[in-house]
Structure 1
Amino acid sequence: MDLVLTGPARYGSSHPMSSVNLAADRTSSDGNTSIDVPEAQGETGRVGTGSGLDLLRAMAANEILSPPAMALLGIEFVSIRDGGATLRREPGDYLYNPVGPAHGSAVAALLDLALGSAIQSALPAGRTYTTLDTRISYLRPLTAASGTLTAVAQTLDIGERRAVAEAHLTDADGQACATATMTGLVVEKPHEVSPEKPDRTWDVSDWFKIS
């Protein structure tokens, strides 16, 4: 079976997932291609108890798995605090849009995760949120030369049913690159039972053309 890379994996070492095993799933009968996600250092699985701050600090310390989207997008925690979060990523050339700079969605993803983390960090046990609205103002184009992008998010208001947070994005030189706000609906967290062994395999067959 020949694999022709047609998605993020084709960028090799410049892509954040290059250190993750990209291979055809030999145990799959349908020929799907999968990614095996690296193990966290400690116990893993969903966390059904504890505050949002406890959950995020455990993720930042690699005690439980962070959201798969973070590994896929090359985003990592810098710090977590009550009502605030700082995250970062590199704007590699694999993120460029057809006209050059990093695609706006790459910036939006970083800001979205920072804003959501800030809101979640302020919520008590048994509460989470769902996004109602996110607004982003792009201040300058970003390229690989921009260096590490850092998003600092802070809650502005946490109510019984509504939460609001803002975030500021800067490049490696400290220049303002974007700002954003998020409004979230605060809801009760569904009851969850931690699986014995979470599935850490991502199906990315749509990244490949199999012939």
Structure 2
Amino acid sequence: MSSVNLAADRTSSDGNTSIDVPEAQGETGRVGTGSGLDLLRAMAANEILSPPAMALLGIEFVSIRDGGATLRREPGDYLYNPVGPAHGSAVAALLDLALGSAIQSALPAGRTYTTLDTRISYLRPLTAASGTLTAVAQTLDIGERRAVAEAHLTDADGQACATATMTGLVVEKPHEVSPEKPDRTWDVSDWFKIS
């Protein structure tokens, strides 16, 4: 498994939740300087910080390739909705990160995307017994201003569980990005830069 694992979360006395993220190795100055593929490969290798949501949700990179990405997670019973199976948002988060990674992996240096639309079709309920969920995403079209990707989600037995598509608006990467190498303890205000 990847070195990006479910991190311990803590709630402080002031009500803020922080997440301990594994220490990254290697260079930290690569954010924003390489292609999307370079950025994601560095995240997958734990050379630079992955999005904190991945650690919080227990989502891991399996592989990154030009125009594609494979991610996985376990559908533990802590994700169940009030009537039983894993909440749809837990599945949606995995698909969203896989689709976004596929799009970002196809973009050149200086470009990123913002989501315009995501559509998900849930094909079967997921429980802890479903085992590891794997989302395989691939870009369908990358243009100057628009990108489209699709993903397929399977359970540990290889059964189809969900499909999804994403349309993204391709934009210039902002100069100010999330912290590259903070003290490795994230607070929500660090990510969103809330004062």
TM-score class, shorter: 0.7 to 0.9
Higher relative contact order (Cα pairs below 8 Å, separated by 6+ residues): 1
Structure 2, unpaired ranges of 5+:
none
Structure 1, unpaired ranges of 5+:
1-16
State the distance in 1 between where 2:63 and 2:194 align: 41
Give the TM-score, by structure 2 length.
0.85
State the distance in 2 between where 1:54 and 1:122 align: 10
The CA RMSD over aligned residues, in Å, is 5.1
Deviation at 1:48, TM superposition (A): 1.6
Aligned residues: 195
Give the TM-score, by structure 1 length.
0.79
Given the superposition, is the C-alpha separation of residues 31 and 175 from structure 1 closer, same or farther in structure 2, using an over 3 Å criterion? closer
Give CA-to-partner distance per residue, 1:24-70, whole Å, 9 cap, x none. 99998957553332211223366021000000001111111111000
Given the superposition, is the C-alpha separation of residues 22 and 64 from structure 1 closer, same or farther in structure 2, using an over 3 Å criterion? closer
Do the aligned residues in 2 keep the contact of 1:33 with 1:205 (CA within 8 Å)? no
Do the aligned residues in 1 keep the contact of 2:130 with 2:155 (CA within 8 Å)? yes
User: Paired residue for 2:170?
Assistant: 186
- Percent identity of paired positions between Structure 1 and Structure 2: 100
Give CA-to-partner distance per residue, 1:150-196, whole Å, 9 cap, x none. 00000000000000000000000000000000000000001247868
SS in 2 for 1:87: strand
Given the superposition, is the C-alpha separation of residues 209 and 135 from structure 1 closer, same or farther in structure 2, using an over 3 Å criterion? closer
| Larger radius of gyration between Structure 1 and Structure 2 | 1
State the distance in 2 between where 1:153 and 1:23 align: 24
Deviation at 1:198, TM superposition (A): 2.0
Given the superposition, is the C-alpha separation of residues 34 and 86 from structure 1 closer, same or farther in structure 2, using an over 3 Å criterion? closer
Do the aligned residues in 2 keep the contact of 1:127 with 1:186 (CA within 8 Å)? yes
Do the aligned residues in 1 keep the contact of 2:149 with 2:167 (CA within 8 Å)? yes
